[in-house]
Structure 1
Amino acid sequence: MLKKIVVISAVSLMPSIAFAQQPVAPAPAKQWATAQEQEPASKAKKLTREEFDSLVAHPDEVQLIDIRTPEEIAANGGFPSYLNIQLADLKGRIGEVSKDRLIITISSSTARAGVAADLLAANGLMVAGAIGAQSYVAEGGTLQKKATVNASNAGKRTSQTASIASSK
């Protein structure tokens, strides 16, 4: 009887012993994460340039929320009319966003704009979708160069137009 127990125990341990003897493969080198991998997946529709242009052709029906910093907008360009609220401030400033218009969120990447769109939709606002300025340009769109906001206006809440078009 004791011999049976020893044999059964030895047989049951064999797979784990064999597994322990297999060489461990080295872990692959860590790749730099892209913006989309760093940002959580969004439920918001990712707008194409054509869809975006079609929506903004009706400015009385749409409000653009650009979540980029004023420096990002000045460096890369922006759209003619928008409300500039950074993502970190968006939850506290939702009251400034129109409840009567379709909302389009904008950032450098569609992933970050999607996070903003999800937040607005979760708070009952009508969100048409999100677009990244980089995607918009890559699909043939043109951004307008913007001047940076001067120190006397920094931090002030603005209405629809949030920056000054540069004379360049």
Structure 2
Amino acid sequence: MTGITDFTVKGADGGSVSLADYAGQVLLIVNTASKCGFTPQYAGLEALHRDYAERGFAVLAFPCNQFGAQEPGDAAEIASFCSLTYDVTFPVFARVDVNGGSADPLFDRLKADAPGVLGTKAIKWNFTKFLVDRAGHTVARHAPTTKPEDLRAEIEALL
């Protein structure tokens, strides 16, 4: 079975990015949106990224427009928003679908590895968070209502 770091995703610039670049790191993979009630979580995600990056941790953001059309911008608009509004330094990749037939294969894998409540696979909303260990295995799934700061103990245990 392959790990998360065996996937290739699309960068914000449209080029391919191998998640092998993140091999050996603890990852928090999040589907994000700029116009969502949970958008202020960007600040908490950035705090986690800055606090733990030197210890081998990274936040990977994947904008998604499937929930209430809350991520309507193109890659440049999304990057500008994240940088100017929340001073985001973690990678923000190309916009993806996380559910349905056009779902990005990475998210299909994350959902299979860490089902939601009662075994549901579908992601319910933006800012669903998947925690991945250094071996590339998905170890936890957290609802959008889970604040980034509430994940510190789990992240520290994996570091």
The verdict on a shared fold, with TM-score over 0.5 as the criterion, is no
The structure with higher relative contact order (CA 8 Å, sep 6+) is 2
TM-score of the two chains, using structure 1 as the length reference: 0.36
- Bigger Cα Rg: 1
Name the structure with the higher strand share.
2
TM-score of the two chains, using structure 2 as the length reference: 0.37
Name the structure with the higher helix share.
1
